[in-house]
């Protein structure tokens, strides 16, 4: 059972998400929070698998709450997915940098929300469909000068290749087609790369791909 915590200051939004999630045989809502402070407290208490965290909340906003969660070693297994009203929310970029596993717009299709919750638990998702490449492009435009690539020395050539493709926004299935391997093999390469680099999830792998200079903005096309 995938345990989800809902953090949003709008009770109607929480009720809608709860009804959708609780109707699934493999997903359940572990708790609800109406502000960031309450969210952090409940996350530490309940240890959910996934947190659907609104960016704009009173007391403590979702961005600050996400930093507290992702910087706590005891909460390393908790995945935070940010919720926003607009696809290009000004805070989405910082949310990814803060350790969020991705983000979803609140009016996303129910099927996409369910797929995202399940996928982020498996480490397979970065962002909601349709906005991945746009956000990566924004990240690339804002990112600092590439750091030394020494951190990538532990990777094999194939793992570097896979990391670059992840950084360009490709899914495991797309990586598999590009490299002519099975999706399982692609997923294995991604997982090993994350382990070697100490990345929490796929989102952090994208950040590292840009900050190391392995992927450059002009590659996005």
What would the pLDDT profile of 186-213 be if each residue is shown by its tens digit? 999 999 998 898 887 787 788 788 778 7
CA atoms within 13 A on the CB side of 90: 1
Helix (H) or strand (E) holding 185: helix 183-197
Instruction: Identify the band that residue 157 occupies on the pLDDT scale cut at 50, 70 and 90.
Output: very high
pLDDT average, residue stretch 137-155 = 64
**What's this model's pTM, rounded to 2 decimal places?**
0.72
pLDDT at res. 23: 96
Pairing between β-strand 2-7 and β-strand 27-33 as defined by DSSP bridges = parallel
Residue 24 Rama label (left phi>0; alpha psi -120 to 50; beta): beta
> What percentage of residues in the chain have a pLDDT greater than 90?
43
DSSP 151: G
- What is the distance between the alpha carbons of residues 167 and 210, in angstroms, rounded to a whole number? 7
Instruction: Identify the band that residue 121 occupies on the pLDDT scale cut at 50, 70 and 90.
Output: confident
- Give the C-alpha distances (Å, rounded to integers) separating 88 from 6, 20, 31, 135, 178: 22, 25, 28, 8, 28
pLDDT average, residue stretch 99-127 = 79
Picking from 24, 7, 3, 169, the residue whose alpha carbon sits closest to that of residue 84 is 7
pLDDT in tens, 18-57: 999 999 999 999 999 999 999 999 999 999 999 999 988 9
- What is the distance between the alpha carbons of residues 40 and 35, in angstroms, rounded to a whole number? 9
pLDDT at res. 219: 46
Residue 125, pLDDT above cutoff 90: no
Q: At what angle do helices 172-179 and 183-197 cross, to 10 degrees?
A: 110
- What is the distance between the alpha carbons of residues 130 and 187, in angstroms, rounded to a whole number? 21
- Give the C-alpha distances (Å, rounded to integers) separating 92 from 19, 22, 97, 134, 157: 26, 27, 9, 11, 31
pLDDT average, residue stretch 138-164 = 74
> Dihedral (C-alpha) 118, 123, 128, 131: value to the nearest 10 degrees?
-170
pLDDT greater at residue 133 or residue 160: 160
């Amino acid at each position: 059972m995938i345990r989800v915590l809902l953090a949003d200051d709008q009770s109607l939004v929480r009720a809608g998400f709860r009804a959708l999630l609780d109707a699934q045989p493999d997903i359940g809502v572990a708790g609800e929070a109406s502000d960031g402070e309450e969210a952090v407290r409940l996350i530490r208490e309940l240890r959910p698998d996934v947190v659907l965290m609104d960016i704009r909340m009173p007391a403590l906003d979702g961005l600050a709450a996400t930093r507290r969660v992702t910087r706590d070693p005891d909460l390393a297994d908790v995945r935070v997915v940010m919720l926003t009203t607009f696809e290009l929310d000004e805070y989405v970029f910082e949310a990814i940098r803060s350790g969020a596993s991705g983000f979803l717009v609140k009016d996303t299709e129910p099927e996409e929300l369910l797929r995202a919750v399940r996928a982020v638990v498996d480490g397979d998702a970065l962002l909601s469909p349709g906005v991945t490449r746009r956000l990566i492009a924004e990240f690339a435009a804002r990112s600092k000068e590439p750091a030394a690539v020494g951190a990538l020395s532990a990777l094999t050539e194939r793992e570097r290749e896979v990391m670059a493709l992840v950084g360009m926004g490709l899914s495991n299935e797309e990586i598999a087609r590009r490299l002519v391997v099975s999706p399982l093999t692609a997923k294995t390469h991604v997982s090993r790369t994350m382990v070697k680099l100490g990345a929490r999830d796929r989102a952090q792998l994208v950040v590292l791909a840009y900050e190391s200079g392995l992927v450059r903005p002009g590659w996005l096309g």
